[in-house]
Structure 1
Amino acid sequence: MSTTDRRTLIVDAAIDLIATQGLRALTHRALDTALDLPTGSASYYFRTKRALIEAIVDRITTRSREDFTAAQLTPTDPIDPDTTAAGIAVWLDRLLTDRRNHLITRHALTLDLLSDPDLHPRLARSLFSTERARNLFDAMGIRDPATAAADFIALLEGAIFDRFAGSRASLAAGTPESIRQLTNLVTICFRGVMP
């Protein structure tokens, strides 16, 4: 196994460990045990816990960008808000289905890193792109696309949290009901800012 593959394996295991056992469970020894690696393997690749957490932030960010690109959410010209809302809802539902552990870990780390001037902003921007949202609202002809984008990202953050840890956590992702709920939410947001 290459060094890059081994590092990715360790980071993915760290994400799963935090998501299932909490941030306090994250230790190099716990990763060695979870992956059945010789003692000291995780610390060989990530000398400090800080280095491991930086790698987790990078992994979540990279996967988010890759998933967004793979979803092919390029707006049509002219923008059809209903079609765009449905596409975003499917993407969000896939995020809840395929990357639940990333979401849980991201939230745990976001709170833990509130006072970290480097990692907290990186983690806060790791899931959604304000620039892409701003471009979307600009293409929709919204008067203040920057404000609309910031509000939209805040809505998505809340909606995602609500679905994996909030009052709607019982609504199963990967179902038509899930996509319908997310589509309705995004559609309401779009209608609220449309000229």
Structure 2
Amino acid sequence: MSTTPDRRILIAEAALDLIAREGLRALTHRAVDRDLDLPAGSSSYYFRSRGALLDAAVRRLAQNSRDAFTRSGLEAPERTDDVDASARAVATTLDEMLLRRRRDLLVRYALAVDPTIDPELHALLATGLFSRDAATTLMAAHRSTQPATAAADFVGLVEGLVADRLIGARSRDGIRAGTADSVEQLARSIAVFLRGLPTESTGTRPI
């Protein structure tokens, strides 16, 4: 049985580790081979150019996000008026991201602002972490009158919450991911947003 898919994943993951640790400039085939303790030239056998290696890393990053979202159970929420339950579910997913996927978050931000990144890869970075389609489904579940517009606003909110906790002022507040305080802090802003949604039946805010 071929082991090529596994080796490709290992190389892509090693590339992500390298970027998170040393920055994009450090990404080379030689560095990846060294980190994986592979013979020289191994990673270039699978990914011929540095651009191909970077492409593999970004696509692996996007796949990690899709897999994590599937595990979260947020893909198909039922229609609901329970704002607090939804806020906590989303906050728990964000908290898990901050706890388990700090590396992926750091790589994403580092690459997204790099002017040398290919536009196609930048599009993956811009949309691969938080899904507007999934957010639209969530907004519809809360009976939003404009679920697509609300979803775009919601993605902007959660982007800001995660960035603030990772690299912003709240990164200095001492709140650790994986704790009840972390989930509660994230859930507060999400609940405020969801309570502010005009509903399709009344056009008013839910109580």
Give the Cα–Cα distance (whole angstroms) in 2 for the partners of residues 47 and 20 of structure 1: 23
TM-align CA RMSD: 1.6
Q: 1:167 and 1:131, CA in 2 relative to 1: closer, same or farther beyond 3 A?
A: same
Aligned counterpart, 2:4:
3
Asked if 1 retains the 8 angstrom alpha-carbon contact of 2:79 and 2:140, the reply is: no
Q: Does 1:48 align with 2:33?
A: no
Partner of 1:174: 178
SS of residue in 2 equivalent to 1:169: helix
| Superposition TM-score, scaled by structure 1 size | 0.93
Q: Distance in 2 between matches of 1:156 and 1:123?
A: 15
User: Structure 1 residue 156: deviation in Å?
Assistant: 1.0
Q: Give the CA deviation at 1:33.
A: 0.9
Number of residues paired by the alignment? 195
**Pair member with larger Rg:** 2
**Equivalent-residue separation in structure 2 for 1:174 and 1:139 (angstroms):** 27
| More divergent stretch after superposition (123-132 vs 104-113) | 104-113
The code of the aligned residue for 1:124 comes to: A
Distance 1:23 1:166 in 2: 21
Counterpart of 1:173, as a letter, is A
Deviations 1:85-131 (A, max 9, x none): 10111111111111110000011111115763311112111101101
Runs of 4+ off more than 6 Å: none
Using the TM superposition, name which of 114-123 and 75-84 deviates more: 114-123
The residue that corresponds to 2:107 in the other structure is 105
Structure 1 contact 114–120 (Cα < 8 Å) conserved: no
Percent identity over the alignment is 48
Write out aligned runs for 1:25-64 (5 A). 25-64=26-65
Aligned to 1:67: 68
Which blocks of at least 5 consecutive residues in structure 2 are unaligned?
199-204
Pairing 1:78–2:80 present: yes
Instruction: Kindly state the Cα deviation for residue 51 of structure 1 after the two structures are TM-superposed.
Output: 1.0
Tell me which residue corresponds to 2:201. Answer: none
SS of residue matched to 2:191: helix
Q: After TM superposition, give the deviation of residue 138 of structure 1 in Å.
A: 1.8
What residue in structure 1 maps to residue 188 of structure 2?
184
